[in-house]
Structure 1
Amino acid sequence: MKLQTQITIAFTTLLVIIMSVVSVMIYSLILDVLIQNEREQLQEKGDLIKQFLWSEVSVNNLAQLIGDDSLQLFLYDQNTDNVMLSTLPKELIDYWLENYDVSDEDQRLWKAGNERYVVSIIPIYPNLLDQQLILVTPLDDLQEVQRNFFNRLIFIFLIGIGIISVLSHFLTKRLVTPLTKLKYQLKKIEKRKFDDLERVHASGEMKEVEQSVYDMANELSRYIQSQHHFFQNASHELKTPLMTIQGYAEGIRDGVFEDEASDRGLDVIVAEISRLKKIINEMILLAKLDSEENIYDEENVPVANLIHSTIDRALPLANEKQVRLTYYIDTDANIAVDKEKLLQAMMNVVSNGIRHANGKVIIRAFQENKSLKITVADDGKGIDEALMPKLFQRFMKGKSGETGLGLAISRAIVERSNGTITAGRSELGGALFTITFKSE
Structure 2
Amino acid sequence: MSIRIKIYLSYMGLILFIFVVFVVLFYAWFEKNLIDQMKEDNLRFARLIEFVVTNQNRKTIDLKPFESYFESLESKFLQDYIIIVSSDGVIEYSNKELDVETRLKIMKIFAENKDVQYGFEMGSIKEKPCLFTIYGGKSKSVFVIIIADLARVLNFKKRFFLLILQTAGLSCVFAAIVAIFVSSRMIRGLLRLKEAIKQASQMKFNKKVEVTSNDEIGIIATEFNRLIQKIDEYNQAQIRFLQNISHELKTPLTSVRGYAEMLKEGILDKSKMESAAGKIIWHVDRLKILINQIIDLTKIESIENYFCFEKSVLEEVIFEAILENEGYMLSKEVAIEFAPQTKTYVICDKLRLKEAFSNIISNCIKYANNKVTIEIKSEKDEFEVRIEDDGEGFLQGEIDKIFERFYKGKRGESGLGLSIAKAIFDKHGFSIEAKNKIPKGARFKIRGKICKEQ
**TM-score, normalised relative to structure 2:** 0.84
**Do the aligned residues in 2 keep the contact of 1:378 with 1:428 (CA within 8 Å)?**
no
Q: CA RMSD in A?
A: 3.2
**Do the aligned residues in 1 keep the contact of 2:120 with 2:134 (CA within 8 Å)?**
no
**Do the aligned residues in 1 keep the contact of 2:192 with 2:210 (CA within 8 Å)?**
no
Cα 1:149/1:204, change in 2 over 3 Å: closer
Instruction: Tell me, yes or no, if structure 1 residue 374 matches structure 2 residue 378.
Output: no
**Do the aligned residues in 2 keep the contact of 1:303 with 1:365 (CA within 8 Å)?**
no
**Do the aligned residues in 1 keep the contact of 2:252 with 2:287 (CA within 8 Å)?**
yes
Per-residue Cα deviation, 1:316-347 (whole angstroms, up to 9, x for no partner): 21111110111243653311111111111111
- Compute the displacement of 1:182 (Å): 3.6
Cα distance in 1 for residues equivalent to 2:198 and 2:398: 34
Counterpart of 1:121 (choices 126, 134, 155) is 134
Task: Pick which of 9-18 and 232-241 moved more.
Answer: 9-18
Cα 1:200/1:129, change in 2 over 3 Å: closer
3-state SS of 1:390 partner? coil
Instruction: Tell me, yes or no, if structure 1 residue 319 matches structure 2 residue 330.
Output: yes
2:7 aligns to what? 7
Cα 1:69/1:403, change in 2 over 3 Å: closer
- Compute the displacement of 1:95 (Å): 5.3
Cα distance in 1 for residues equivalent to 2:413 and 2:112: 111
**Do the aligned residues in 2 keep the contact of 1:241 with 1:272 (CA within 8 Å)?**
yes
- Compute the displacement of 1:120 (Å): 2.8
1:261 aligns to what? 272
Per-residue Cα deviation, 1:332-391 (whole angstroms, up to 9, x for no partner): 331111111111111111111111111111111112575321121111122222433221
Counterpart of 2:315 (choices 286, 292, 304) is 304
Q: How does 1:377-396 map to 2 (within 5 A)?
A: 377-396=388-407
Cα distance in 2 for residues equivalent to 1:426 and 1:61: 109
3-state SS of 1:392 partner? coil
1:335 aligns to what? 346
Q: How does 1:130-169 map to 2 (within 5 A)?
A: 131-169=142-180
Q: Which amino acid letter does the alignment assign opposite residue 118 of structure 1?
A: L
**Do the aligned residues in 1 keep the contact of 2:356 with 2:421 (CA within 8 Å)?**
yes
Cα 1:372/1:6, change in 2 over 3 Å: farther
Instruction: Tell me, yes or no, if structure 1 residue 103 matches structure 2 residue 107.
Output: no
Task: Pick which of 366-375 and 377-386 moved more.
Answer: 366-375
**Do the aligned residues in 1 keep the contact of 2:80 with 2:149 (CA within 8 Å)?**
no
3-state SS of 1:389 partner? coil
Q: Which amino acid letter does the alignment assign opposite residue 122 of structure 2?
A: W
2:81 aligns to what? 72
**Do the aligned residues in 2 keep the contact of 1:95 with 1:112 (CA within 8 Å)?**
no
Task: Pick which of 267-276 and 179-188 moved more.
Answer: 179-188
- Compute the displacement of 1:34 (Å): 2.2
Per-residue Cα deviation, 1:289-317 (whole angstroms, up to 9, x for no partner): 22211111111112222222222222221
Q: How does 1:340-359 map to 2 (within 5 A)?
A: 340-359=351-370
Instruction: Tell me, yes or no, if structure 1 residue 17 matches structure 2 residue 28.
Output: no
Per-residue Cα deviation, 1:126-183 (whole angstroms, up to 9, x for no partner): 1x33753232324344222211221122212221232233134324434554444344
Task: Pick which of 58-67 and 22-31 moved more.
Answer: 58-67
Cα 1:139/1:227, change in 2 over 3 Å: same
**Do the aligned residues in 2 keep the contact of 1:424 with 1:431 (CA within 8 Å)?**
yes
Cα distance in 1 for residues equivalent to 2:312 and 2:393: 31
Instruction: Tell me, yes or no, if structure 1 residue 430 matches structure 2 residue 441.
Output: yes
- Compute the displacement of 1:267 (Å): 1.7
Q: Which amino acid letter does the alignment assign opposite residue 31 of structure 2?
A: L
Per-residue Cα deviation, 1:241-297 (whole angstroms, up to 9, x for no partner): 222222222222221234222222222222222211111111111111222111111
Per-residue Cα deviation, 1:34-66 (whole angstroms, up to 9, x for no partner): 213322442344234322473524799987886
Q: Which amino acid letter does the alignment assign opposite residue 200 of structure 1?
A: V
Cα 1:378/1:62, change in 2 over 3 Å: closer
Task: Pick which of 32-41 and 258-267 moved more.
Answer: 32-41
3-state SS of 1:157 partner? helix
Instruction: Tell me, yes or no, if structure 1 residue 421 matches structure 2 residue 432.
Output: yes
Cα distance in 2 for residues equivalent to 1:115 and 1:90: 15
**TM-score, normalised relative to structure 1:** 0.87
- Compute the displacement of 1:90 (Å): 4.3
- Compute the displacement of 1:94 (Å): 5.7
1:46 aligns to what? 46
1:56 aligns to what? 60
Instruction: Tell me, yes or no, if structure 1 residue 212 matches structure 2 residue 226.
Output: no
Cα distance in 2 for residues equivalent to 1:264 and 1:223: 42
Cα distance in 2 for residues equivalent to 1:181 and 1:102: 82
* Structure 2 unaligned regions, length at least 5: 72-76
Identity of aligned residues (%): 25
Cα distance in 2 for residues equivalent to 1:222 and 1:406: 21
Per-residue Cα deviation, 1:4-55 (whole angstroms, up to 9, x for no partner): 4433432332233123322332343331332133224423442343224735
- Pairs aligned (count): 435
